[in-house]
Amino acid sequence: MEMLTNTYSNCILQKQALASGVRASVAFLLLFLLTSISQVSVAQSLLVGKTGTIQSVKKAIQLAQPHDTIYISQGTYLESDIIINKPLTLIGRHNPVIDGQFTGEIITIQADSVVVEGLVLQNVKVSAIKDYAAIRISRSKHCILRNNQIRNAFFGIYLEKADSCQVQNNRIHSQSTMESTSGNAIHVWYCNTMLIEDNQVSGHRDGIYFEFVSNSRIINNISTKNLRYGLHFMFSDNNVYRSNRFINNGAGVAVMYSKHITMVENTFQNNWGASAYGILLKDITDSRIEKNTFLQNTVGIHAEGTNRTIIQHNEFRQNGWALRMMGSCEELRFERNNFIANTFEVASSNNYTSNNTFNGNYWSSYTGYDLDRDGTGDVPHKPVKLFSYLIEDVPTAMVLIRSLFIDLLELAERVAPVLTPATIQDDGPSMRLNHW
């Protein structure tokens, strides 16, 4: 009897334990579901529309929680000074327009991980005191601006003290007429690790401006009809620009006071004017210019204070001057470039002495020969013409460029060189176009 009683008691205890386990499991499952629902609710979507419950972008940003997505419907929204201070994604549907009405800045981003995509932003205030922009990223990281159109902006996109941001596939156009009243299309100041890719910029002071920027890339952009430079570097080291096109700007690219700049596969075209260049190099060191095309510029490359730089596999075609090397250019290596139909191939400053080298370049004006047919000219080529040497001192002498008198002077100088720099010559000119 006692044994039966004990067995019955054990069964009761086991059932109670089982019931307790089931209750614990159910509680855990409920907790899990509640947590999941809570997590799902973190990222919500809000819709801004002219006929919806939310009719302004500012209001949507106020209502949004971090990591929400705000969709903006087609229409025109008269707003400015929109501040994003939390991680959000703004997506425009069917190109909605946000019109700043020239009252101030349109969007200012003050948070990390913000995405702005598919918007049309227009009419930013012009000021002599503050740099108003259509979109400003200030002291933020990992932001993305892509597929936007910006019209009539003082500054288009302005990035200041930002890190690891991307500016991709934006169209930024203005109609500036004076440098003093215009800003830059993409202005990058004191930033690191930026990507500027696939943008089209025009009608500003500078197309793209880098100041105190490092470890960044500028890839596949088109910069045209800007008043000053298509691209401008100041005090910016360790950057790359590749596969860009700089056409019809005041000057193509200015690289100033920087080092370790890689310039590869770009096109510099139709940058004409008294002070126009394909590239202006001013006090830069340890850089590389490779596989670029310089077509119909006043000057292909103008260099001052440039040292330890390799210029190779470039094509200089139909420029006024292919190269101008002024003071303090040392240890430049010009190798296997093509110089085709330029009015002047190389110009240099007076009393020019240097350790720059030319080797294996193709010169369309080369009149030497190749008796052993190894593809290399048997006599050196001197790319500095007497006339180009003279007009450095007397620019007005340019009016004589096609005269018989100049032809006779050039012939006499080739026979008995006395004025052109003896240190500038290609000892192994290529008889054929170089390919790369």
Q: Give percent above pLDDT 90 in the chain.
A: 70
What integer best gives the mean pLDDT of the chain? 87
What is the C-alpha to C-alpha distance for residues 53 and 322, in angstroms, rounded to an integer?
62
Specify the pLDDT at position 179.
82
Q: Long-range CB contacts (< 8 A, 24+ apart) of 92-99?
A: 92/117, 92/118, 92/119, 92/120, 92/148, 93/118, 95/119, 95/120, 95/149, 96/72, 96/120, 97/121, 97/122, 98/57, 98/122, 99/123
Specify the pLDDT at position 33.
46
Read off the pLDDT of each residue in 143-158 and give the average, rounded to a whole number: 97
Specify the pLDDT at position 103.
94
DSSP-based three-state secondary structure for 119: coil
pLDDT in tens, 180-196: 789 999 999 999 999 99
328: confidence class by pLDDT, cuts 50, 70, 90: confident
Please state the φ and ψ torsions of residue 33, each to the nearest 5 degrees: -65, -40
Q: Does residue 225 have a pLDDT over 70?
A: yes
With CA atoms as reference, report the closest residue to 131 among 186, 64, 82, 55.
Answer: 186
Q: Does residue 350 have a pLDDT over 60?
A: no
Q: Does residue 68 have a pLDDT over 90?
A: yes
258: confidence class by pLDDT, cuts 50, 70, 90: very high
348: confidence class by pLDDT, cuts 50, 70, 90: confident
What is the C-alpha to C-alpha distance for residues 183 and 168, in angstroms, rounded to an integer?
20
Specify the pLDDT at position 128.
87
Q: Please, which residues have CB within 8 angstroms of residue 344's CB and are 6 or more apart in sequence?
A: 320, 321, 322, 385, 387, 388
Specify the pLDDT at position 399.
64
Sign of the dihedral defined by the CA atoms of residues 88, 92, 96, 101, in that order: positive
With CA atoms as reference, report the closest residue to 164 among 116, 199, 214, 210.
Answer: 214
What is the C-alpha to C-alpha distance for residues 149 and 426, in angstroms, rounded to an integer?
48
4: confidence class by pLDDT, cuts 50, 70, 90: very low
Lowest mean pLDDT among 16-30, 216-230, 272-286: 16-30
What is the C-alpha to C-alpha distance for residues 105 and 136, in angstroms, rounded to an integer?
8
pTM of the model: 0.85
Question: What token pair was written down for 43?
Answer: 């990222």
What is the C-alpha to C-alpha distance for residues 352 and 421, in angstroms, rounded to an integer?
6
Query: Can you spell out the DSSP letters for 131-190?
Result: --EEEEEES-BS-EEES-EEES-SEEEEEES-BS-EEES-EEE-----GGG---SEEEES
Q: How many residues does the chain have?
A: 436
Specify the pLDDT at position 35.
46
Read off the pLDDT of each residue in 341-353 and give the average, rounded to a whole number: 78
Q: Does residue 38 have a pLDDT over 50?
A: no
